[in-house]
Amino acid sequence: MFLTNQDLVELTEWRRKLHRMPELSGQEAETAQEVRAFLASTGPDRIVAGLGGHGVAAVYEGREPGPTVMVRAELDGLPIEEISDAPHRSAVPGKGHLCGHDGHMAILAALARGLGRQRPQRGRAVLLFQPAEEDGSGAAATVADPKFSDIAPDLAFALHNVPGLPFGQVALTEGPVNCASRGMRIVLSGKTAHASMPETGLSPVDAAARLMPALTALGSGGTLDEGFAMATVTHARIGEPAFGVAPGRAEVWVTLRTLVDRRMADLCARAEDLARRAAAEGGLSVEIAYDDVFHHCENAPEAVAHLRGALEAERVPFDRGNLPMRASEDFGRFGAKAPAAMFFLGAGENHPSLHNPDYDFPDDLIGIGARVFMRTLRNLLG
């Protein structure tokens, strides 16, 4: 083990400090400053700041030529009020680190300590703290940033903790592991009227009422294979909260989900066709926009082989688990640039689920995750 007991105590305290100060996607300025200060204390050869927004990367150079290996964590929290009696609970109303990104950052901080004490023999290790994972924009912005080209990896790795999986157990497999998804926003516009004379306006009520079940019928899930499709209506609003006004506007939000990217275009086209037909039948105008666009996440066999070797060497139990999973992850953007793989680390079978208001990252996972990543780096870079 490359970490001392004192390291683990300090990393736990640092993780809890981050937990108290969650920031939302694209707003992670203070978190990035805290990360940068920690990384600087480990003496990296270079720190790259402002990546894709507030992203931060630390580079540790080896003495000999070799590959660039990147490990990624996420900076952002969630717009959810935390319900907890823990002393380190969120100090920011309406926001919480309820997905474990604070714990993922602590794992990379552990790697920073190890790499600061003993540089790679060859190549270079890059520790990336990526912004805006939760809304799907951060990885794309990071990859598009000109500064990323200077640290572009030959291999990339990441993890995510998973409540419901036995504590310390890892799920890992080749191929797709996270679904592609995107949020579709449909706006139907007509004309308001006095509630006593609705016939003088143009209401979107009937069109929206027909559209929502039609969207849901596009896909209700099922087996996670390449034909998988799911459409989930997540929000709807019709008119204004007033009894005297017949509505002239409706907004419907639906999350579209497929196992692989190439299936998404077809699902989007079908959903758009439904929206346009509903608008046309009601004499309404329609606007369609997309948010929270996630590509599917696919584990490359080469990268998976390296993780398997590290898991075996560290005697961390692993199997395929329940992969692939329906949830999305924007780490897939890095997989389009280099062989990449993500593993999923069990947070305990009875642990509160991700995004639940009572979720908190289990601190004892810091050492396990760090051991797997450090073994991977040492196997590749010496």
Render pLDDT for 139-189 as a digit per residue (tens, 0 to 9): 999 999 999 999 999 999 999 999 999 999 999 999 999 999 999 999 999
Looking at the chain, the number of H-run helices and the number of E-run strands are: 9, 17
φ/ψ (deg, to 5) at 50: 70, 30
* Tokens linked to 213: 């079940």
- The pLDDT value recorded for residue 186 is 98
Does domain 5-178+296-381 sit in CATH 3.40.630.10? Answer: yes
Amino acid residing at 3: L
- From 70, 77, 63, select the one nearest 26 (Cα to Cα): 77
Contact 155, 340 (CB under 8 A): yes
Q: Report the distance separating Cα 236 and Cα 209, nearest Å.
A: 10
Q: How far is CA 206 from the centre of its chain?
A: 36
Structural contact between residues 362 and 349, judged by C-beta atoms closer than 8 angstroms: no
- Percent helix, percent strand, percent coil in the chain, to nearest 5: 35, 30, 35
CATH code for the part of the protein at 180-294: 3.30.70.360
**What is the β-pairing status of strands 340-348 and 170-171?**
antiparallel
Whether the predicted pLDDT of 1 surpasses 90: no
Query: Once rounded to an integer, what is the mean pLDDT over residues 30-39?
Result: 98
State how far the Cα of 274 lies from the Cα of 293, in Å rounded to an integer: 20
pLDDT band at 220; cut points 50, 70, 90: confident
Within the chain, where are the H helices? 5-20, 29-41, 101-117, 138-144, 205-216, 261-281, 301-313, 332-335, 365-381
Give 306-323 pLDDT, tens digit per residue: 999 999 999 999 999 999
Q: What pLDDT score was predicted for residue 222?
A: 83
The domain ranges of the chain are 5-178+296-381, 180-294
Distance from C-alpha of 93 to C-alpha of 235, rounded to nearest angstrom: 23
The Cβ of residue 102 has, within 10 Å, a number of other Cβ atoms equal to 27
pTM: 0.94
**Facing residues of 49 across strands?**
56
One-letter amino acid at 262 equals R
Average pLDDT on 232-243 reads: 96
Question: pLDDT averaged over the chain?
Answer: 97
Tokens of 350: 């009875």
Angle of helix 365-381 versus helix 5-20 axis, rounded to 10: 110
pLDDT at residue 240, as a whole number = 93
* Model pLDDT, residue 221: 79
The model's pLDDT over 245-283, given as tens digits with 9 standing for 90+, comes to 999 999 999 999 999 999 999 999 999 999 999 999 999
Identify the bridge partners of residue 202 per DSSP, sorted by sequence position: 191
Tokens encoding 28: 């992670």
